[in-house]
Amino acid sequence: MKEEIQALANQYKSEFIAIREHIHANPELSFEEYNTSLLVENYLIQLGLKPHRIAKTGIWAMIEGNGTGTKTIALRADLDALPILEKNENTYASKNAGVMHACGHDVHAACLLGAAKILTTIKHNLKGNIKLIFQPGEEKLPGGASMLIKEGVLENPKVDAIIGQHVMPFINTGNVGFRKGLYMASTDEIYITIHGKGGHGAMPHLGVDPVATAAQVIVALQQLVSRKAAPIIPTVLSFGKINSDGGATNVIPNSVKLEGTLRTLDEKWRATAHEHIQQITDHTAQAYGATAEVIIEKGYPYLKNDVPLTENIMQAANKFMGNNHVEDLDIWMAAEDFAYYSQEIPACFYRLGTRNEKKGIVSPVHTNTFDIDADAIETGIGLMAYLAWDAANGS
């Protein structure tokens, strides 16, 4: 079966390179993926499948096997793009100014469609069932995965395990990466407003400077990682935005807003960290005569790859690609709403290499020059199909 799937991936790759480029050229933001969903829906109908709408712009469909197996394996791809102005000038660059597939979701969707075509072609040799999940809103809270789970995407029939594939521009095309156990961090959005008393910059003693206080808050909060977090628990607290309410070179504003992110791999510590952020901010502000408002928007949980499932999938990947093409991954402190699935059922989230230095394809995700080596599409559709076939057949 390996050779048959490899041959089909090679045969179909041009079609799905073109589909990926079409999706890339027509990106849509989170929960607005109307045309992308329609494309997916129509293609699944062409394959003889029955697509179902979920969470407005989500799609799921079943590939039923030959009835000799009982497992249902889900494959997931996401559909949304990012609010980024693309700087690439290729023929498939974004036509929607200010919106770009800078995280590879166009690749994920195209690869899942390609895997679906392969699996429908070989379904006479497929014992179990494959549930295809095309998910909206991975890039925006509360995360499309959480919405789909609430609407029953893992039920009727009950999904035994789920597999997700994501581009990785730090891995060369032709290679893939896996990690067993804890893999990606939880993520929370931190919003802090420091309230002071504004005035003339030449007379700071007559007011309460929220700018200086905000600086002290940022410095004090770094103690959360260096002195409050256990050294064995990976933790990141970063502030990416500071903005004052008014102010000028010679005007002290009345308030300053801070925006940041907290990431960790332990849910108990995560809750404790929220309490520390509130306390440290309040006490630091009070020390300088200011007051503070703290809002923490809880985001995605940590992502854990089920160890037995991932071990089996890695063995299958080695069979399909060869040992020298399968890499071990380190913990990554980025976040992904696939984590919601991993909290519900056995899950495996792996990385598809898309880097090609000779072609100049080296930009990270979430940048305005991100692109992939198109040769990765063949690997993406073939491997995902093989992993699903192997898992559904119970080997």
As annotated, the residues of the chain forming the CATH 3.30.70.360 domain(s) are: 188-298
Report which of 307, 316, 342, 304 is spatially closest to residue 74, judged by C-alpha positions. 342
Q: How far apart are CA 132 and CA 120, in angstroms?
A: 12
Residue limits of CATH 3.40.630.10 in the chain? 2-183+302-392
Strand partners for 54: 58
Buried b (16+ CB within 10 A) or exposed e, 308-343: ebbebbbebbeebbeeebbbebeebbebbbbbbbbb
Mean pLDDT by 10 residues, the chain (395 residues): 95 98 98 98 98 97 90 97 96 97 98 98 94 97 96 96 98 97 97 96 95 97 96 96 91 97 96 98 98 97 97 96 92 96 98 97 97 98 97 83
This prediction's pTM? 0.92
**Which CATH number applies to 2-183+302-392: 3.40.630.40, 3.10.580.10, 2.60.260.20, 3.40.630.10?**
3.40.630.10
Q: Which residues pair with 74 in a beta bridge?
A: 131, 162
Rounded Cα distance, 315 and 322, in Å: 10
| Residue 52 in tokens | 């179902």
pLDDT of residue 69: 81
Cis peptide before 157 (omega within 30 of 0): yes
Q: SS3 for the chain, per residue? A: CHHHHHHHHHHHHHHHHHHHHHHHHCCCCCCCCHHHHHHHHHHHHHCCCCCEEECCCEEEEEECCCCCCCCEEEEEEECCCECCCCCCCCCCCCCCCCCECCCCHHHHHHHHHHHHHHHHHCHHHCCCEEEEEEECCCCCCCCHHHHHHHCCCCCCCCCCEEEEEEEEEEEECCCEEECCEEEECCCEEEEEEEECECEECCCHHHCECHHHHHHHHHHHHCHHHHHHCCCCCCEEEEEEEEEECCCECCEECCEEEEEEEEEECCHHHHHHHHHHHHHHHHHHHHHCCCEEEEEEEECCCCEEECHHHHHHHHHHHHHHHCHHHEEECCCECCCCCCHHHHCCCCEEEEEEEEEEHHHCECCCCCCCCCCCCCCHHHHHHHHHHHHHHHHHCCC
pLDDT score of 72: 96
CATH 3.40.50.2300 fits 188-298, yes or no: no
Which residue matches tokens 């998910």? 135
- pLDDT value, residue 395: 55
